[in-house]
Structure 1
Amino acid sequence: MRFYQATTFLFPRRYEWRVLFVCFGAVHVPLLACIAYQAATGQWQPTTLLVLLGATLFSTVLGLAAIRALLRPIETATQMLRAVQAGERVGMVPVGNEDLVGRLLHGVSVAANESAPRIERLIETAERDELTGLRNRRGFLDSARRLLAGESNGVLAMVDIDRFKAINDRFGHATGDALLREVALRLENGVRRSDVVGRWGGEEFAILFPDTLLEEAHVVMERLRASIALDPSLRGDEWPVTFSCGIAPVRSFAHLENATRNADGALYAAKNGGRNRVQISKDE
């Protein structure tokens, strides 16, 4: 460590350049010694100096190239360690021999393998709604970004439980939470595995139907609306459970924000129209 610390003034941010510089100087020691000897004795041999200079330059180029290649695995390992520290997924780690670089690569591989499951659990936890188990808004948007990577025919549905605040006020928050879990379960079980259901916030849910026509999504949401409205386990004698829904087409992830506004507008129209209905957005 002492020599390492003592040479930090040489390229402080580029360790590999420091190594190359030291090797460059070491390769030229024979040439400098020959020049010093001939200068001291006064017996100059230009041919010998030229041959030695050419050989020195040639070996310098080869040596620096070889050292640069030997340092490349260390550079790769450093980049992978930074990725692990940043919580990013690391690809295949190169396998080394039983030497210093091999042990370093093995250490990176162990760190990456131990970190990957933990990172995935953290991401999964961060993108899940604790109450309902659905994707939260962040998780929903991350899934939508993958599904709407290119141009497509998709549909976004915004769902809101009717008179949920009154249910909370009358029966208590525990009943309201239980109702949110039950509605979330029925929404997730009532769509395809390729569809994405998320809790948008409060009593509002979002459903993304990728590669789906507007009429097809409308039929699905009408079926879900009717099944929840008629579900005897949800319907109370005093307070039936229903939801209102607005749906709008979405062509790409860049169009999702606009589609959300359109679906929200249709949702409010459904609310103002008497609730317990599915409204198609009139805006594109």
Structure 2
Amino acid sequence: MRFYLATRFLFPRHFHLRIFAVCFAAVHLPLLAFLASQAVLGEWEWAVFAPLLLATLAGTLFAIYALGALLAPIRQASSMLRQVQDGKAVSDIPAGGRDLAGELLDSVGLAAIATNTRIGQLRDAAERDPLTGLRNRRGFLDAAAHLRDSTRATLALVDIDHFKRVNDIFGHDEGDLVLQEFAHRVSETMRRSDLVARWGGEEFVILIPGMGPREAHALVSRLRTALHAEPIGPDPEEPVTFSCGLAFLRGPDQIAAAMQRADKALYTAKRGGRDRIELAESGMLDA
């Protein structure tokens, strides 16, 4: 490290040029020694000097090319580290050799893969609800932000009816089972393009792109019908139902406003007797 630190004044931002400078001086030592001897003797052997000069220049050019090529693994490793620091995925990881540079490239590549995997796990943990496996509020908002501008969509805010009663009578374990089964039913009913998330507690949110409120109403009604046909919940006498508020939007910038309108529609559905789907823009729609 001492020599490395001592030579930092030579091209401090370009390591390969520093190596070249050292090699350049070493390659030119024979030529300098020959010139010194000729000066001392007062003789000039041009027949010897000319080939020596040409060989030195050719060696210098070769050294420039060869050093650049030999340092390619280090440049690649440095590039991968910058990608990791920027939070980008490292996909193209070349195999290194068995020498020092190759081992460095392999080590950085393995570290980049492990870091990408860990970042993915942490991101997934931060954006997923551990109980239901759905996206949580943060995951929903991050994903919904990628909705294209002016894209027509409907936001559905869904709340399980009388969920507190399930927890109070049958316990939180049964309540958790209800949440898991309800999340499973929602995921089965919605399309692959729909964004489903647990908003909090017994409340779920669904972003349905490409559909207006009336079309979305028909889609959510399928879930309601399925729950009536195959009830879930610990009490057969009081199967689980849900209330829902629907709001129309265009583009990600309108999600917050649509959420407020859907929440008002949901409150209206609850106040109207529950097990209902309420449309914010056009009043109540019974399924």
Counterpart of 1:259, as a letter, is: A
Q: Report the more deviating stretch, 239-248 or 164-173.
A: 164-173
AA paired with 2:132? T
- Whether the 8 Å CA contact 2:16–2:68 is kept in 1: the answer is yes
Say if 1:64 and 1:180 are closer, same or farther in 2 by CA, change over 3 A: same
Q: What residue in structure 1 maps to residue 203 of structure 2?
A: 204
1:243 Cα offset (Å): 1.8
Query: In the alignment, is the contact (CA less than 8 A) between 2:80 and 2:109 conserved in 1?
Result: no
Task: For 1:1-284, list aligned pairs within 5 A.
Answer: 1-10=1-10, 14-26=14-26, 29=29, 33=33, 63-64=63-64, 66-84=66-84, 88-113=88-113, 117=117, 119-145=119-145, 148-149=147-148, 152-228=151-227, 231-234=230-233, 236=235, 239-282=238-281
1:74 partner letter: I
Q: What is the alpha-carbon distance in structure 2 between the residues aligned to residue 193 and residue 207 of structure 1?
A: 12
- CA deviation vs aligned residue, 1:104-150 (integer Å, no higher than 9, x gap): 3333444455555555444433432111222222333344345x256
Q: CA deviation at 1:28?
A: 5.1
Rounded to whole Å, the distance in 2 between the matches of 1:60 and 1:258 is: 68
In structure 2, relative to structure 1, the CA distance for the partners of 1:64 and 1:247 (3 Å cut) is farther
CA distance in 1, matches of 2:74, 2:184: 50
The letter of the residue matching 1:76 is Q
For 1:57 and 1:220, the matched residues in 2 are separated by 77
Larger mean Cα displacement after TM superposition, 213-222 or 95-104: 95-104
Equivalenced residues, count: 282
| Offset at residue 236 of structure 1 (A) | 3.8
Could you tell me whether the CA contact under 8 Å between 2:151 and 2:210 is conserved in 1?
A: yes
Residues 54 and 260 of structure 1, relative CA distance in 2, 3 Å threshold: farther
Deviation, 1:238, is: 6.5
CA distance in 1, matches of 2:66, 2:11: 20
Structure 1 residues 149 and 64 mapped into 2: Cα distance closer, same or farther (>3 Å)? farther
User: Scaled by the length of structure 2, what TM-score is found?
Assistant: 0.74
Structure 1 residue runs of 5 or longer lacking an equivalent are: none
Identical columns (%) = 50
Which one-letter code corresponds to 2:210 in the other structure? D
Measure how far apart 1:37 and its partner are. 5.4
AA matched with 1:95: A
C-alpha distance in 2 between matches for 1:45 and 1:2:
41
Using the TM superposition, name which of 181-190 and 67-76 deviates more. 67-76
Q: Is the 8 A contact 1:162 1:276 kept in 2?
A: yes
Deviations 1:239-280 (A, max 9, x none): 553222122334333443343334334333433444322222
Shift, 1:157, TM fit? 1.4
- Select between 34-43 and 68-77 the one with higher mean Cα deviation: 34-43
Instruction: Return the alpha-carbon distance in structure 2 between the equivalents of residues 235 and 86 of structure 1.
Output: 49
After superposing the two structures, state which structure 1 stretch, 204-213 or 180-189, moved more: 204-213
Letter in 1 for 2:185: R
User: Partner amino acid for 2:124?
Assistant: E
Kindly state the Cα deviation for residue 219 of structure 1 after the two structures are TM-superposed.
0.5
User: Post-superposition shift, 1:205?
Assistant: 0.7
Q: Quick one: structure 1 residues 65 and 212, their matched pair in 2 at CA, closer, same or farther if it must change by over 3 Å? A: farther
Q: Which secondary structure does the structure 2 equivalent of 1:234 belong to?
A: coil
Q: Secondary structure at the match of 2:206?
A: strand
Paired amino acid for 2:158: V
Unaligned runs of 5+ in 2: 283-287
Shift of 1:64: 3.5
Please give the TM-score of this superposition, normalised by the length of structure 1. 0.74
Looking at structure 2, the residues matched to 197 and 74 of structure 1 have their Cα atoms a distance apart, in angstroms, of 44
Change (3 A) 1:233 1:100: closer
- 8 Å Cα contact 1:155-1:217 kept in structure 2: yes
| Equivalent residue letter for 1:134 | L
